[in-house]
Amino acid sequence: MDLINDFLAWAWPRHLNPISWYIRPLFFLPIAYFCWTRRPVWLTVTIVAMLSSFFWFPAPPQGQVDPKIAGVLEMEKELFADPTWVTWVTLPLIPALLGGLCAAFWFRSIGWGLVIIDGGLALKIAWTVANSGSDGLATVLPLGLGAIVMTAVIIAVARWKGLRLGPRAGEATPS
């Protein structure tokens, strides 16, 4: 147990680095690509990379921590340290979002993939603001920018490759 606590004590301050906040949403792009091309090994590697990305970057210097980011992370830490019904209800939404994203692109539905990405990030922003007040607004720029970049890249690649964003009128969707 001490090993886990030591690791968390080392990793948690690194999560305060804003670079990790901007990088993490962009992992949806390779996840979408590896689902589209049906490469489960690379998909797994990407998901592991995404889950570990919160401690890749150095902890910001003590005086340079954005107090709003610190407030959001403190709220998240409290939710995990002393779970409430909110924790137990919302925690399954994370793998559901990831599973929905993977399913949408695995079954070649660009439109549904975009709905899941943008809707999931919008829900994350709303959830964070609802649970941490004005500090939660610190998530708007990194998650909103991530959603805009991902949507633009996916639409640009789809148009470049001549792919449709949704099924044609009267076409059945894959079941």
Residue 77 lies in a domain: yes
Paired tokens of 161: 């490759």
Contact 116, 97 (CB under 8 A): yes
CA distance 56 to 47: 14
Residue 56 lies in a domain: yes
Q: What are phi and psi of 119, to 5 degrees?
A: -65, -40
Q: Check residue 168 and give its pLDDT.
A: 57
Paired tokens of 56: 């890749």
Residue 18 lies in a domain: yes
Contact 164, 47 (CB under 8 A): no
Q: Check residue 55 and give its pLDDT.
A: 84
Residue 16 lies in a domain: yes
Residue 169 lies in a domain: no
pLDDT band at 169 (very low <50, low <70, confident <90, very high): low
pTM score: 0.83
Predicted confidence (pLDDT) per residue in 36-78, tens digit: 999 999 999 999 999 888 888 888 887 778 888 888 888 888 8
CA dist 11 → 55, 68, 113, 118, 160 (Å): 5, 19, 31, 28, 40
Q: Which residue segment(s) compose the domain that 150 sits in?
A: 2-161
Characterise 135 by phi-psi region: left (phi > 0), alpha (psi -120 to 50), beta (else): alpha
Nearest to 105 by CA among 69, 157, 64, 145: 157
Mean pLDDT (whole number) for 107-117: 94
Share of the chain above pLDDT 70, in %: 94
Q: Check residue 54 and give its pLDDT.
A: 82
Residues 6+ apart with CB under 8 A from 153: 29
CA distance 55 to 43: 20
Q: Check residue 166 and give its pLDDT.
A: 65
Residue 173 lies in a domain: no
Residue 170 lies in a domain: no
pLDDT at 33 over 80: yes
**Domains in the chain, number:** 1
CA distance 31 to 11: 24
CA torsion sign for 147, 149, 155, 161 is: negative
